[in-house]
Amino acid sequence: MEREFFYNFGKLLYKFDNYYAEFAKRSGIKPNLMWILYALDDGMYHSQKEISVSWDIPITTINTIVKELDNDGYVNLIHIKGKRREMNIILTEKGKEYSKIILKDIYEIEKKVYDKLNERIRINDDLEFLLNELNECKGDK
């Protein structure tokens, strides 16, 4: 029973990941760039380390993409007081417009799907619980 659950879960997870990767490709960007724009599009300051931990994207990948975004004028890098090398990243006005163009369609699709979920929306809590349990069991092996 549990094997079948995780087998099907793995297939679905891969299909979700592929759906967003295909969306990024259709938008003319790489999936990691899409996820970094997605992370930054909340209007908050984020460090590369924070994005790496929260989104499980390698710090080297984030660093490369952030340098490109900075060179293109899409982000501002702001030194974090008390941190020697760590910088906060925030979208510039140009970056907000770029994100809006890139992410507009996926946000609309997500809203349509979200509206259909209604009270079944506990899925994020359930997925977070599942991930936490898997991480706890990692130490057992």
pLDDT tens sequence across 25-60: 999 999 999 999 999 999 999 999 999 999 999 999
CB atoms within 10 A of CB 89: 24
pLDDT tops 80 at residue 9: yes
pLDDT of the residue at 118: 67
pLDDT of the residue at 137: 76
Cα-Cα end-to-end distance for the chain: 21
pLDDT of the residue at 140: 59
pLDDT tens sequence across 69-103: 999 999 999 998 888 888 999 999 999 999 999 99
pLDDT tops 80 at residue 135: no
- The dihedral sign for the CA sequence 38, 43, 44, 48: positive
Q: Which residues are bridge partners to 88 per DSSP?
A: 47, 78
Please give the average per-residue pLDDT across 97-110, as a whole number: 95
Q: Domain-by-domain residue ranges, the chain?
A: 2-138
Q: Which two tokens stand for residue 17?
A: 């990941």
Q: Which CATH class is domain 2-138?
A: mainly alpha
pTM, two decimal places: 0.83
Q: Which tops the pLDDT comparison, 88 or 116?
A: 88
